[in-house]
A and B are shown apart, each in its own frame.
Chain A
């Protein structure tokens, strides 16, 4: 067998998102608004793992400060188009990725030709301020194209994911164990029943898989207790001591494993509240031609649960490693896999019925997609994001912000500052930018009139914002944070740009591949304290 170059190159990431995730990446089209240092760092971390293409939309020309902090620029490029210059050097990172640039002011494009942005899989916006940001967000929201809004000011980084709905099947939970000890299906129940422990020699007895041990003694328990599971603490203890009595020697590891897992085995297997909510969701109830494959399969699963599944999800079918001889383990594995296959087949039949009922052909959803859904059914995830319009205008999270802002451990204060800085920018077309904090003991340092004005104006912006949100208690040390933002003067620092590049690219990969769980919905990283906080705003 020959491993092709591409598989070799991507080996270390394929181990995280497999060929299916890679295919999604390789067919994605990513748009970056403004070729800032932060924007280019994000693209770098997306080009390396191999997105299909990227497009940089930027009307600026490279200036001396750009060339100083952006690795994908150098002094020779000063004065030339920033979109073109960064695209050239970013392109070098991966020959399998296509790079495009569009020399145009994004603001003009949003104003005159917003449908331009609908061709992309995802849009990442840096340095875009409130007015045009809201406009772009609305266009993308209506077309269900994910948008990530990114800001990097001084030591502070911020980003926000905006998309109506994001669904994930492969969430990659750390431990998937679904053994159905409490509610054994007929095949496993029969196998456990028919295995006569007493007739085994000592070697075989020490190799009975713990699953069988648990099933055997639980069956015995249920027969002696009107079919009930051990419920109370003392009943569970009693169940454990029955298992312990089954040991022939003190060091039978398989019985040790059974004892460790006994408690969990008595806990009734139930569909979690989160999964039940997904199955009860209106999107699951009302399947139409517009329904995505996620919701169609979810509906089929729901119908499975109320019918063949007898209240349970399709079986995942995986068996963890345990003390056993080869035959015993493989037999057990085969029984679980067989049941999982039968469950998946039943779900597939239901999916096909649904597809036909809405006038679609059955090839609309691939079999592997259904099988994967069945395997991960207990861990699927639906995130409904709030729109920027809700956050900014119709329904700001006033009371939550008020609560968070009183806690000095939180980073929410920087959200308020970034929003206020945006307002400052809209009225001045520049960032607040001055040395405003001075060491009282040092006579050489003193506030100038301009710097005092700068500070006061930003503070006024913040106060009016807090008033709008009906926040009456001024946050602790507010002046310090204002000083810090005036000091930053809207600057980008290479380290924070790189850090945001890592975070945003990671979340973009999750959104593109529909694997792993992205944030909901805002992150603020504070590079002064090296902490991050997530908020639903």
Chain B
């Protein structure tokens, strides 16, 4: 990762003629039918004949992710007439991307996705400027995000989505001028969704956290003592055997030699217990938590996101309010609905969260409870007593962690009384929430 280099790069056009052939007769004739003509469904604020100006000269769009969705999003935006696009991605190209990430070729394997994608689009679509940042979204601050009119996300990580969502919501600070629309797309196999989030106005990503399906996990005692499935043997190899037998080595799930070792170790265990079905491919799938992905679903979801972006920016049609779910394994099914804002959403809600816990719960168990709770799902929560600012448990910095660690074994009720508020923060997310405690 190019962690040292924080600025954004703009690829230089391959040849100077690019600027010459910027436009040609008829280039925008399809788009202009909608931009130059009023329609019966379009917003009353729509002014015919101004679309090209909006797209060409005024609008800056940020695309987060240059993967399966990102490649499609960049292409669609460029063809729709957007002229200033920036793309962020922290990954490099892997051979398994090539079945859908169509801006990349075999010879690009190992190169940064953001760079190759930006260069490809600028080469193919004349006159569009695509700048890129090869790094993490967390490297950028509010001023950076305020510099765009609209942000489209094509991410594969829940954590990154929660981060950008919370950042954009927090950024508003009661000033409507600081609202930046977020369009979020996601896919899994034949399924996907596209949604429009207007921070503080509509429901946000965090409001819908409960809709996520829980990731598969296997109890450690099953893995250690009573394996039944090939997956149990693979988990045994990666979770228990690797740290035991290769303790000084960091497991790299992208290294085929490491996967091979895990596969062989899992296979030996499976044989011992007469379990069938351990394969190299399954091993890879389990340890890397691989989600199936195909070109078709990416195209559908990305196009839907870009269609909404085009409608929002140009006012040429009403836009999605606010969620479209897509399923394609049995026929083609879409469900379009308004996802409701949650009044006690940890990010955009106005109401505090109340939780009921057992009177004898320890601080450590309470932290586990927060991690598991479907509408909170924090990774590394730090707790502070709101009324006194007393640190209950802090995950970082190390000094405070050490100092507050003895509290983990204590009963929560010995520190926090019935009806008290606990302030919860998480270093991986720009979220702080206040939770009212009651005991049962």
**A residues lining the B interface (CB < 8 Å):** 1, 3, 5, 7-16, 41, 44-45, 48-50, 63-65, 67-71, 74-76, 78, 92-95, 154-155, 171-172, 207, 321-322, 324-326, 329-330, 433, 435, 437-439, 445, 477, 479-481, 483-484, 487-489, 491-496, 498-499, 501-503, 505-507, 509, 516-520, 523, 525, 527-532, 534
Name the B residues within 8 Å of A12 (CB-CB): 96, 99-100, 290-294
Asked if residues A519 and B331 are in contact (CB atoms below 8 Å), the reply is: yes
**Roughly how many angstroms separate A81 CA and B423 CA in the complex, as a whole number?**
66
**Interchain CB contact (< 8 A) of B296 among A45, A71, A329, A433:** A45
**Roughly how many angstroms separate A13 CA and B297 CA in the complex, as a whole number?**
11
Asked if residues B79 and A505 are in contact (CB atoms below 8 Å), the reply is: no
Asked if residues B38 and A69 are in contact (CB atoms below 8 Å), the reply is: no
Name the B residues within 8 Å of A505 (CB-CB): 295-296, 299
Shortest Cβ distance from B319 into chain A, in angstroms? 8
Asked if residues A437 and B40 are in contact (CB atoms below 8 Å), the reply is: yes
Q: B377 in the interface, Cβ–Cβ < 8 Å?
A: no
Q: B274 in the interface, Cβ–Cβ < 8 Å?
A: yes
Say whether, besides A487-B33, A517-B331, A16 and B294 are in contact (CB < 8 Å): yes
Q: Which of B285-322 contact A (CB under 8 A)?
A: 285, 290-304, 306-308, 310, 317-318, 320
**Roughly how many angstroms separate A435 CA and B48 CA in the complex, as a whole number?**
10
**Interchain CB contact (< 8 A) of A45 among B29, B189, B299, B333:** B299
Name the B residues within 8 Å of A493 (CB-CB): 30-31, 34, 80, 307, 310
**Roughly how many angstroms separate A466 CA and B312 CA in the complex, as a whole number?**
35
Shortest Cβ distance from A349 into chain B, in angstroms? 25
Name the B residues within 8 Å of A1 (CB-CB): 260, 263, 280
Asked if residues A435 and B38 are in contact (CB atoms below 8 Å), the reply is: yes
Asked if residues B280 and A3 are in contact (CB atoms below 8 Å), the reply is: yes
Asked if residues A330 and B228 are in contact (CB atoms below 8 Å), the reply is: yes
Interface segment out of the listed B19-27, B162-170, B172-180, B397-405: B19-27
Shortest Cβ distance from B278 into chain A, in angstroms? 12
**Roughly how many angstroms separate A50 CA and B260 CA in the complex, as a whole number?**
27
Asked if residues B331 and A10 are in contact (CB atoms below 8 Å), the reply is: no
**Roughly how many angstroms separate A154 CA and B37 CA in the complex, as a whole number?**
12
Asked if residues A496 and B25 are in contact (CB atoms below 8 Å), the reply is: no
Q: B357 in the interface, Cβ–Cβ < 8 Å?
A: no
Asked if residues A68 and B317 are in contact (CB atoms below 8 Å), the reply is: no
Asked if residues A41 and B299 are in contact (CB atoms below 8 Å), the reply is: yes
Q: B330 in the interface, Cβ–Cβ < 8 Å?
A: yes
Please give 13 more A-B residue pairs, beta carbons under 8 A apart, in addition to A1-B263, A324-B228, A484-B41.
A16-B189, A41-B299, A48-B98, A64-B26, A321-B229, A435-B37, A480-B40, A481-B40, A493-B310, A496-B303, A499-B300, A505-B295, A534-B332
Shortest Cβ distance from B217 into chain A, in angstroms? 13
**Roughly how many angstroms separate A68 CA and B78 CA in the complex, as a whole number?**
10
Name the A residues within 8 Å of B36 (CB-CB): 435
Say whether, besides A488-B34, A503-B296, A505-B299, A494 and B190 are in contact (CB < 8 Å): no
Asked if residues B41 and A50 are in contact (CB atoms below 8 Å), the reply is: no
**Roughly how many angstroms separate A7 CA and B124 CA in the complex, as a whole number?**
29
Asked if residues A437 and B26 are in contact (CB atoms below 8 Å), the reply is: no
Asked if residues B76 and A495 are in contact (CB atoms below 8 Å), the reply is: yes
Q: Which of B62-107 contact A (CB under 8 A)?
A: 72, 75-76, 79-80, 95-96, 98-100, 102, 105-106
Name the A residues within 8 Å of B100 (CB-CB): 12-13, 48-49
Can you give 11 A-B contacts (C-beta < 8 A)?
Answer: A1-B260, A3-B280, A9-B98, A12-B291, A68-B79, A71-B124, A75-B126, A155-B34, A172-B329, A495-B80, A495-B307
Name the A residues within 8 Å of B44 (CB-CB): 439
Asked if residues B95 and A9 are in contact (CB atoms below 8 Å), the reply is: yes
Q: B226 in the interface, Cβ–Cβ < 8 Å?
A: yes
Q: Nearest A residue to B27 by beta-carbon distance?
A: A68
Asked if residues A438 and B38 are in contact (CB atoms below 8 Å), the reply is: yes
Shortest Cβ distance from B318 into chain A, in angstroms? 7
Q: B281 in the interface, Cβ–Cβ < 8 Å?
A: yes
Say whether, besides A48-B100, A445-B38, A499-B304, A64 and B29 are in contact (CB < 8 Å): yes
**Roughly how many angstroms separate A10 CA and B41 CA in the complex, as a whole number?**
42
Name the B residues within 8 Å of A14 (CB-CB): 281
Asked if residues A527 and B307 are in contact (CB atoms below 8 Å), the reply is: yes
Most buried by A among B27, B34, B99, B333: B99
Asked if residues A321 and B228 are in contact (CB atoms below 8 Å), the reply is: yes
**B residues lining the A interface (CB < 8 Å):** 21, 24-31, 33-34, 36-41, 44, 48, 72, 75-76, 79-80, 95-96, 98-100, 102, 105-106, 124-126, 189-190, 194, 225-229, 256, 260, 263, 273-275, 280-281, 284-285, 290-304, 306-308, 310, 317-318, 320, 324, 328-334, 336
Say whether, besides A45-B295, A48-B99, A498-B299, A484 and B29 are in contact (CB < 8 Å): no
Asked if residues A499 and B37 are in contact (CB atoms below 8 Å), the reply is: no
Asked if residues B26 and A44 are in contact (CB atoms below 8 Å), the reply is: no
Shortest Cβ distance from B190 into chain A, in angstroms? 7
The 10 closest A-B CB pairs, nearest first, are A64-B26, A502-B299, A502-B300, A499-B303, A494-B79, A480-B40, A68-B27, A506-B296, A498-B303, A435-B37
Name the B residues within 8 Å of A75 (CB-CB): 21, 24, 27, 126
Q: Nearest A residue to B305 by beta-carbon distance?
A: A495
Asked if residues A5 and B226 are in contact (CB atoms below 8 Å), the reply is: no
Give the number of residue pairs across the A-B interface with Cβ within 8 Å. Answer: 262
**Interchain CB contact (< 8 A) of A517 among B227, B306, B330:** B330
Name the A residues within 8 Å of B329 (CB-CB): 172, 516-517
Asked if residues B34 and A487 are in contact (CB atoms below 8 Å), the reply is: yes
Name the A residues within 8 Å of B294 (CB-CB): 12-13, 16, 49, 506, 509
Shortest Cβ distance from A409 into chain B, in angstroms? 10
**Roughly how many angstroms separate A516 CA and B168 CA in the complex, as a whole number?**
39
**Interchain CB contact (< 8 A) of A483 among B40, B75, B330:** B40
Name the B residues within 8 Å of A481 (CB-CB): 40
Asked if residues B281 and A71 are in contact (CB atoms below 8 Å), the reply is: no
Shortest Cβ distance from A3 into chain B, in angstroms? 6
Name the B residues within 8 Å of A488 (CB-CB): 33-34
**Roughly how many angstroms separate A467 CA and B370 CA in the complex, as a whole number?**
63
Asked if residues B290 and A15 are in contact (CB atoms below 8 Å), the reply is: yes
**Roughly how many angstroms separate A300 CA and B110 CA in the complex, as a whole number?**
52
Shortest Cβ distance from A280 into chain B, in angstroms? 23
**Roughly how many angstroms separate A330 CA and B297 CA in the complex, as a whole number?**
37
Asked if residues B281 and A64 are in contact (CB atoms below 8 Å), the reply is: no
**Roughly how many angstroms separate A439 CA and B43 CA in the complex, as a whole number?**
11
**Roughly how many angstroms separate A111 CA and B317 CA in the complex, as a whole number?**
40
Name the A residues within 8 Å of B302 (CB-CB): 498
Name the A residues within 8 Å of B306 (CB-CB): 494-495, 498
**Roughly how many angstroms separate A518 CA and B328 CA in the complex, as a whole number?**
9
Name the A residues within 8 Å of B293 (CB-CB): 12-13
Asked if residues B334 and A531 are in contact (CB atoms below 8 Å), the reply is: yes
**Roughly how many angstroms separate A8 CA and B229 CA in the complex, as a whole number?**
24
**Roughly how many angstroms separate A517 CA and B28 CA in the complex, as a whole number?**
38
**Roughly how many angstroms separate A9 CA and B108 CA in the complex, as a whole number?**
13
Q: Nearest A residue to B196 by beta-carbon distance?
A: A530
Asked if residues B27 and A499 are in contact (CB atoms below 8 Å), the reply is: no
Name the B residues within 8 Å of A15 (CB-CB): 189, 281, 285, 290, 292
Q: Nearest A residue to B275 by beta-carbon distance?
A: A330
Q: Nearest A residue to B72 by beta-carbon distance?
A: A498
Name the A residues within 8 Å of B38 (CB-CB): 435, 437-439, 445, 487
Say whether, besides A9-B95, A12-B293, A326-B273, A499 and B33 are in contact (CB < 8 Å): no
Shortest Cβ distance from B255 into chain A, in angstroms? 13
Asked if residues B332 and A532 are in contact (CB atoms below 8 Å), the reply is: yes
Name the A residues within 8 Å of B105 (CB-CB): 92
Asked if residues A445 and B48 are in contact (CB atoms below 8 Å), the reply is: yes
Asked if residues B292 and A491 are in contact (CB atoms below 8 Å), the reply is: no
**Roughly how many angstroms separate A455 CA and B228 CA in the complex, as a whole number?**
68
Asked if residues A534 and B331 are in contact (CB atoms below 8 Å), the reply is: yes
Asked if residues B79 and A69 are in contact (CB atoms below 8 Å), the reply is: yes
Say whether, besides A15-B292, A494-B79, A502 and B303 are in contact (CB < 8 Å): yes
Name the B residues within 8 Å of A94 (CB-CB): 98
Asked if residues B95 and A69 are in contact (CB atoms below 8 Å), the reply is: no
**Interchain CB contact (< 8 A) of A9 among B96, B290, B318, B332:** B96
Q: Nearest A residue to B32 by beta-carbon distance?
A: A491
